[in-house]
Structure 1
Amino acid sequence: MSYAAAQDLIARYSNRDLVQLTNDDPTVTTINTDVLQQALDDGSAEIDGYLDGRFALPLAQPPAILARLACDIAMYRLQSLRPLHDLADARKRYEDAVAFLMEVARGTVTLGLSAVGTEPPSAPDAAVVEGPSRVFDRNKLRGF
């Protein structure tokens, strides 16, 4: 699942840059949306690598910040394929995105989502089952 669509990337970056980055032929004047979407999917997969283990994936309703991060990572990946482009700005955005994701993975920054292993909020009419403690535990069965 991609956190950003091609339209998200097109809204953030210039059409001319995206045309140049997604096409090998310099005479083409339209964005290759397949290449664009692949870069976004790759960026989303990288994000999932940081979120995995902390959140249940795929996220049902991903926060909007993940769309921006996916766009920044995708743009860096696209620009790194073209040696003529200046990578300084794209690299800085990429490094910022990775630093943010590392903070999320450490738990020092939150996405406003429930982490894996936390109790979901209980519904008002939810059934709660409780029972007595175990009669036969590991210590009592030792030696059998």
Structure 2
Amino acid sequence: MAYISVSDLLDRYGTEEILQRTDKTELVSEELMEAAVAGEDLSGYPPEEQAAVADAIRLAEIAANDATDLINGYIAGRYQLPLMPVPGVLIRLCSEVARYNLYDDAPTEAIQDRKTATLKTLRDIADGRLSLGADKLGAAPQTAQSAVMVSDGRVFGRESTGGFI
């Protein structure tokens, strides 16, 4: 399951931008895309437009899933996956990577810079320099790492060294 939905992408970047990156036929209107993402009845639209919007949504979902997989690759060593609920910071990071993915081989410099910053943030999370924090209910994501200290006892002490230490 992806950390974001197509609806999240539309809300964050606008229907027009997401359509420019996903509609290869140029048959899908903003109204049709928003109706399809909202799960509304599309029977009033021609079959070719219905197929085109289904393809556009599929491309956006692929980008979201790929972004989620990339994020999971970074954080799997520190957090138990899947994360439920999804921390807000991951929604933003996943959106940035998915947007970059939608631009195929022609991202703008600004989008490339945002992806670079996102990857740096993911490295910081993976290295423990940045926490995913708590969700709105106050629950922090469970970490997969825990420290366990084991000792065989003292090797050196006052008794074994004749009071020298």
Q: TM-score range by the shorter chain?
A: 0.7 to 0.9
Q: CA RMSD in A?
A: 1.7
Output the CA distance in 2 between the equivalents of 1:28 and 1:114. Answer: 41
- Structure 1 contact 2–40 (Cα < 8 Å) conserved: yes
User: How far apart are residue 26 of structure 1 and its match?
Assistant: 3.1
User: How far apart are residue 13 of structure 1 and its match?
Assistant: 0.8
Give matches, 1:1-144, under 5 Å.
1-30=1-30, 31=33, 32-81=56-105, 83=106, 87-112=108-133, 113-118=141-146
1:12-66: CA deviation from partner (whole Å, max 9, x where unpaired): 1122211110021234325421111110010000000001111111112220111
What stretches of structure 1 of length at least 5 have no aligned partner? 120-144
Counterpart of 2:26 in 1: which secondary structure? Answer: coil
User: Rg larger in 1 or in 2?
Assistant: 2
Paired residue total:
116
Give the TM-score normalised by structure 1: 0.73
Output the CA distance in 1 between the equivalents of 2:145 and 2:131. Answer: 15
Counterpart of 1:68 in 2: which secondary structure? Answer: helix
Output the CA distance in 2 between the equivalents of 1:62 and 1:14. Answer: 22
Output the CA distance in 1 between the equivalents of 2:27 and 2:58. Answer: 18
The structure carrying a bigger helix percent of its residues is 2
Give the TM-score normalised by structure 2: 0.65
Moved more, 31-40 or 4-13: 31-40
Moved more, 96-105 or 22-31: 22-31
Same amino acid, percent of matched pairs: 28
Moved more, 42-51 or 109-118: 109-118
Counterpart of 1:80 in 2: which secondary structure? Answer: coil
What stretches of structure 2 of length at least 5 have no aligned partner? 34-55, 134-140, 148-165
- Structure 1 contact 80–87 (Cα < 8 Å) conserved: no
Output the CA distance in 2 between the equivalents of 1:105 and 1:15. Answer: 32
1:95-140: CA deviation from partner (whole Å, max 9, x where unpaired): 1111000000001111123321338xxxxxxxxxxxxxxxxxxxxx
